[in-house]
Amino acid sequence: MSNSIFYAKILLNLARTGWLLRGVPASIAETVAEHSFLSAYVCIEIGSGIQGVDIGKVVLYSLIHDLGEAFVGDITKPVGLRLGELKSRIEEDYVVKNIDNEMIKEFYKRYVSQSDFEAKLAKLCNYISTLLIGLDYKKLGYEVDEIVYNMYNEVEKLSKELNIREYVEKLLSKLITDVENITFKNG
């Protein structure tokens, strides 16, 4: 058995720190594996509507994009931004040194470097997944406005960069029925 399965199993129980820090109880907090699964599913939905996208590649990127967190934990976005490239390098180093599946290592490196359209699309789906879960927590009364606001802005920015903004907006309008009622304390 590949040791990557062992590390993937760690992600099944690793709650996403941003939710915990904003009061979402560990018992209902999204795990890193749940996040990766939803991200992959979002990639299938979006990727299947864009001509020329390698769906298998984008889904694989999504499934493994947070594999480094099995080694260093889920570091919040603000801390990750302050650490800059150091966070990515440390996670990539752990993945490369500890994962025995060469394909997973190669795809992980490509995702981190954002070297192709599919890697960028997987990142967009990651943001959309976080946005959707954040809106669920917001409806439950948790103080997640900052995350939702930041993810909404990242989705807008990256979908525009990838030239698929209208397509993404259409999908989100189907998924988020009360999009016009979203209010942010940060924005």
The CATH number that applies at residue 115 is: 1.10.3210.10
Residues 6+ apart with CB under 8 A from 131: 148, 151, 152, 155, 172
Residue 135 domain flag: yes
What's the pLDDT score for residue 162? Answer: 97
Residue 184 confidence (pLDDT): 41
**Cα 96 from Cα 88, distance rounded (Å):** 12
- Residue 187 is predicted with a pLDDT of 42
Read off the pTM.
0.91
pLDDT of residue 106: 96
Query: Does 148 fall in a domain?
Result: yes
Q: Is residue 40 part of a domain?
A: yes
What pLDDT score was predicted for residue 78? 81
pLDDT < 50: residue spans in the chain: 180, 183-187
187 falls within a domain: no
What pLDDT, on the 0 to 100 scale, is given for residue 37? 98
Residue 186 lies in a domain: no
Please tell me the predicted confidence (pLDDT) of residue 183: 47
What pLDDT does residue 66 have? Answer: 95
Q: Is residue 30 part of a domain?
A: yes
> What is d(CA 69, CA 3) in angstroms, rounded to the nearest whole number?
15
Number of domains in the chain: 1
Q: Structural domain of residue 19, as residue ranges?
A: 3-181
What is residue 19's three-state secondary structure? helix
Residue among 152, 65, 54 nearest 107 (CA): 65
pLDDT at 181: 52
Task: Let me know if residue 50 belongs to a domain.
Answer: yes
What long-range pairs does 46-54 form, CB within 8 A, spacing at least 24? 46/121, 46/124, 46/125, 46/128, 46/164, 46/167, 46/168, 46/171, 47/118, 47/121, 49/167, 50/121, 50/164, 50/167, 53/117, 53/118, 53/121, 54/118
**Domain assignment present for 100:** yes
